[in-house]
Structure 1
């Protein structure tokens, strides 16, 4: 959001790759993607290094985000309870990134307790709340209410708790995000609908948890993979007793294929590939240009939900997606960056 040096956090629209993760050093097997505070390429050099590949990486990341929203909605309404899906979500990154966590410690003693709790907000609590909300909220509503409001909650926490300031352009963007929330959630909160208001409130609660995580991550000074691995390991430990029995029953009931699909989508693509690709896109394009791709996620999710889930977006959802898209673009600071350039 408005945190200096945390461009990813203020523009990331979805919970698939940790929001500030690409703005810190991402290192694996000796390779790295890093920002200006840890040796990241200068903007001019990054833009000269094949921006086409950066656009491709960003678009693939957006596609992953969209499939995550639709895939999670399908899983919790057809095959698996939220806790079981959460195990699949965090098991893959927890195992793959365990070496990164091992070097830093599974419960870093140098981090304040509140910071560690804030980091864990993006794990099991976030996933359980969001996945439960997806049980009753249509896929087209997820985009405006979850990734669409994440910038708003990060900014509110920064303003109310940390005393950060907000420019006029970004304030206008946040106002548009609020209008998007009213368009999508207003009718259900007023009693028109079939209980979707419960899902709407849960999605907004999840976005608030993500805002807490964003600020905690900035203060943790963990690398991207350390944070993702730490959250994955602790989330897996918390979810195993809750979702383990249901996951075993689902496998015994012939849902092994569905579990495998979720493992690929939730764990590998969302938990690892999306993280690395978005960091690559930011290095090649710069944070502002990469941010311009983020609103495509909710749009694509609404389109995918038509053939995959049989869900036709309502007029309110379409309006909400449009307002949230413009709001996120304004809140990300992309237009302010162009003016300065």
Structure 2
């Protein structure tokens, strides 16, 4: 854990980056399962948001109190992209969709779409051009998504909400990744600012729409406190920040190749969701596509 709290000025090692990426992807898979589970409880998306961002906002309060809510050296627009991309807007959109989407499909439509969205932003905004390996990877991701679309059209329980909101969430996260990379903030600073601003936004939503936290059993609150607050809101945000700083956005994103497969098996084991040959095929195809699209496999072969 010491490696996961290094400041960006000390240039985190590649070992710390790999550790951060692995921690992140396992937490993401757990978050998908826990959020899917919450659809059967009285907890709403605002309640979950208060838990997810309240914990890291409190724990990291010394950090955001030191930097201020709007740091002088960070353009407000860049900060807004970070907060939207990994904070309140991202959370509300994806949680709404996850509540009506099987975990295996979430892994593909969200985890698989993230590097695709990041590549598109890189090409359109920053003029990046993918090589053959990355192009094949992007094609494999599209193939995995096409399998799910075919299953949805055939009458499976995947609605248009899943195909619209989860890729939109992936686009927001990709925007956050590019913005954070250029912000000059450390993982602690970025995580703290995203958490406090997202908590403020959710507190405002709770004042308008109300909250059911007081009526939810303590056991369920405890589960979401651990999954949403401690793991997803705090540990994963810091770990992903370390991974991006140490490895770069593309290599850090490569580890999300594990998310579709982990989410599929997690849904089958913990939520008793039916996972067939086509769902596993889509998850594996997307996972391999992510690894190719980020260029990690071609980099290893050259080495």
Structure 1 residues 250 and 102 mapped into 2: Cα distance closer, same or farther (>3 Å)? Answer: closer
Which residue of the other structure, out of 154, 164, 167, is the alignment partner of 2:128?
A: 164
Structure 1 residues 277 and 215 mapped into 2: Cα distance closer, same or farther (>3 Å)? Answer: closer
Q: 8 Å contact 2:140–2:288 — kept in the other structure?
A: yes
Helix, strand or coil: the match of 2:41?
Answer: helix
Structure 1 residues 178 and 195 mapped into 2: Cα distance closer, same or farther (>3 Å)? Answer: closer
- How well do the aligned residues superpose, as a CA RMSD in angstroms? 3.1
What residue in structure 1 maps to residue 300 of structure 2?
338
Consecutive unaligned residues of structure 1, counting only runs of 5 or more, are 1-24
Which residue of the other structure, out of 30, 50, 55, is the alignment partner of 1:67?
A: 30
Structure 2 residue 223 is matched with structure 1 residue 251 = no
Structure 1 residues 243 and 193 mapped into 2: Cα distance closer, same or farther (>3 Å)? Answer: farther
- Between the aligned partners of 2:73 and 2:245, the Cα distance in structure 1 is 29
Residues 22-70 of structure 1 show CA distances to partners (whole Å, capped at 9, x for unaligned) of xxx964xxxx265xx74334x6xx59xxx9xx77x76555432221110
Report the alpha carbon displacement of residue 293 of structure 1 after superposing the two structures with TM.
Answer: 5.1
Report the alpha carbon displacement of residue 112 of structure 1 after superposing the two structures with TM.
Answer: 2.5
Report the alpha carbon displacement of residue 196 of structure 1 after superposing the two structures with TM.
Answer: 2.0
Structure 2 residue 102 is matched with structure 1 residue 130 = no
Report the alpha carbon displacement of residue 306 of structure 1 after superposing the two structures with TM.
Answer: 1.8
- Between the aligned partners of 1:240 and 1:68, the Cα distance in structure 2 is 21
Q: 8 Å contact 1:251–1:259 — kept in the other structure?
A: no
What residue in structure 2 maps to residue 147 of structure 1?
111
Which residue of the other structure, out of 178, 186, 189, is the alignment partner of 1:223?
A: 186
Report the alpha carbon displacement of residue 184 of structure 1 after superposing the two structures with TM.
Answer: 1.3
Structure 1 residues 116 and 175 mapped into 2: Cα distance closer, same or farther (>3 Å)? Answer: same
Q: 8 Å contact 1:80–1:246 — kept in the other structure?
A: no
Residues 222-248 of structure 1 show CA distances to partners (whole Å, capped at 9, x for unaligned) of 111111111111111111232468775
Structure 1 residues 62 and 243 mapped into 2: Cα distance closer, same or farther (>3 Å)? Answer: same
Q: 8 Å contact 2:112–2:286 — kept in the other structure?
A: yes
Q: TM-score, normalised by structure 1?
A: 0.77
Say which structure is richer in helix: 2
- Between the aligned partners of 1:233 and 1:281, the Cα distance in structure 2 is 22
What residue in structure 2 maps to residue 5 of structure 1?
none
Q: 8 Å contact 1:119–1:216 — kept in the other structure?
A: yes
Helix, strand or coil: the match of 2:212?
Answer: helix
- Between the aligned partners of 2:177 and 2:21, the Cα distance in structure 1 is 21
Q: What pairs up with 1:5-84 in 2 under 5 angstroms?
A: 27=5, 32=6, 34=8, 38-41=10-13, 46=15, 61-84=24-47
Structure 1 residues 146 and 137 mapped into 2: Cα distance closer, same or farther (>3 Å)? Answer: same
- Between the aligned partners of 2:179 and 2:247, the Cα distance in structure 1 is 26
Residues 92-117 of structure 1 show CA distances to partners (whole Å, capped at 9, x for unaligned) of 11111121122222112433332122
Report the alpha carbon displacement of residue 291 of structure 1 after superposing the two structures with TM.
Answer: 6.7
Helix, strand or coil: the match of 2:195?
Answer: helix
Q: TM-score, normalised by structure 2?
A: 0.86
What residue in structure 2 maps to residue 263 of structure 1?
225
Q: 8 Å contact 2:135–2:293 — kept in the other structure?
A: yes
- Between the aligned partners of 1:259 and 1:316, the Cα distance in structure 2 is 35
Q: 8 Å contact 2:181–2:245 — kept in the other structure?
A: no
- Between the aligned partners of 2:178 and 2:252, the Cα distance in structure 1 is 21
